[in-house]
């Protein structure tokens, strides 16, 4: 029975959350700390990362804030080497940062395309590569990258963002196959509509916001805190035989056909 009680226990584990200053990354850091992990709250926004770490410590958890710029290899290498120097093992890594340019494909400039690709896809790749190397060397670890429902379905104005999220999913699948023999699990989470700083533009427009809410089975948006559970699950022993998946957390968005409920 004890092994089942401890399925979600991350005591003595070291977790790094990139993007921990706000949104899903912040709530993921809170959830991992609540499960017992020592958490490194990493973000380009160092002040925000410190606030997240301070909150965890005030609640009796164990967190350290650190700055990281995933657009720079040296910064990512320094992050993971620093964690290993202090914590001995790199048990879980969560990669969340993303940006979006909402425009029709024909209106997106080369610079805008490059900006989204460089952060969402290239930045995530750097974090996955550097953490994956270290996990493979130690023979264990759980790597979790944030994809999206947009890796599966798309809408006007989301073409480049969707391409990056689909690319993240395919990198996850490839790394799961490549690193499985070394004991490393690699998975993606695909959120639906979540209230985060990235979606503030939609929340400010009630018609748009409500249309998205009615598109899923629950008729509402997710709160960032509702992504903490899936993150903890994938990081924990409960997911010991789970790798290479897209865990959709979308209130049925991708399961429901159409925007009209016919009379039955």
Containing structural domain, residue 133: 2-245
Q: Does residue 209 form part of some domain?
A: yes
Going through 61-159 in order, the beta strands assigned E by DSSP cover 62-67, 92-95, 141-146
pTM: 0.95
Q: Does residue 131 form part of some domain?
A: yes
Distance of CA 115 to the CA centre of its chain: 19
CATH at 223: 3.40.50.720
Cβ neighbors of 218 (< 8 A, separation 6 or more) are 251, 252
Which residues are bridge partners to 246 per DSSP? 188
Going through the chain in order, the beta strands assigned E by DSSP cover 14-18, 38-43, 62-67, 92-95, 141-146, 184-191, 194-195, 222-223, 246-249
Q: Does residue 135 form part of some domain?
A: yes
Q: Does residue 250 form part of some domain?
A: no
Q: Does residue 262 form part of some domain?
A: no
What pLDDT shows up at residue 260?
61
What pLDDT shows up at residue 183?
98
Choose the catalytic residue: 4, 30, 161, 212. 161
CB 45 within 8 A of CB 2: no
Q: Does residue 45 form part of some domain?
A: yes
Question: How far is the C-alpha of 217 from the C-alpha of 89, rounded, in Å?
Answer: 40
**φ, ψ dihedrals at 247, nearest 5°:** -90, 105
Q: Does residue 59 form part of some domain?
A: yes
CA angle, corner 53, sides to 51 and 57, nearest 5? 115
pLDDT, tens digit only, all 264 positions of the chain: 878 889 999 999 999 999 999 999 999 999 999 999 999 999 999 999 999 999 999 999 999 999 999 999 999 999 999 999 987 899 999 999 999 999 999 999 999 999 999 999 999 999 999 999 999 999 999 999 999 999 999 989 999 999 999 999 999 999 999 999 999 999 999 999 999 887 878 888 888 899 899 999 999 999 999 999 999 999 999 999 999 999 999 999 999 976 666 566
Residue 161 annotated among the catalytic residues of the structure? yes
What pLDDT shows up at residue 88?
84
| Domain total in the chain | 1
What pLDDT shows up at residue 105?
95
Q: Does residue 264 form part of some domain?
A: no
What pLDDT shows up at residue 200?
79
In the numeric block, the tokens 């290498």 are attached to 77
**Strands of the 141-146 sheet, one edge to the other:** 62-67, 38-43, 14-18, 92-95, 141-146, 184-191, 246-249
């Amino acid at each position: 029975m004890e092994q089942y009680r401890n399925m979600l226990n991350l005591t003595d584990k070291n977790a790094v959350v990139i993007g921990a200053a706000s949104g899903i990354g912040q709530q993921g850091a809170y959830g991992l700390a609540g499960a017992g992990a020592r958490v490194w709250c990493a973000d380009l926004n160092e002040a925000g990362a410190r606030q997240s770490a301070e909150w965890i410590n005030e609640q009796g958890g164990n967190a350290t804030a650190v700055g990281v710029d995933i657009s720079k290899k040296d910064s990512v290498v320094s992050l993971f080497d620093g964690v290993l120097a202090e914590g001995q093992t790199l048990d879980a890594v969560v990669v969340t940062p993303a940006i979006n340019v909402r425009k029709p494909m024909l209106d997106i400039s080369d610079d805008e395309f490059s900006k989204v690709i460089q952060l969402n896809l290239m930045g995530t790749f750097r974090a996955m590569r550097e953490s994956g190397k270290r996990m493979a060397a130690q023979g264990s670890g759980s790597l979790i990258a944030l994809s999206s429902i947009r890796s599966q379905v798309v809408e006007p104005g989301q073409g480049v963002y969707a391409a990056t999220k689909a690319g993240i999913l395919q990198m996850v699948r490839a790394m799961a196959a490549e690193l499985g023999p070394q004991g490393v699990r690699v998975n993606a989470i695909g959120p639906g509509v979540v209230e985060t700083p990235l979606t503030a533009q939609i929340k400010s427009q009630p018609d748009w916001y409500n249309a998205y809410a009615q598109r899923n089975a629950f008729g509402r948006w997710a709160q960032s805190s509702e992504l903490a559970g899936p993150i903890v699950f994938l990081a924990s022993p409960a997911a010991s035989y789970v790798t290479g998946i897209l865990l959709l957390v979308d209130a049925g968005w991708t399961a429901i056909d159409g925007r009209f409920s016919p009379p039955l």
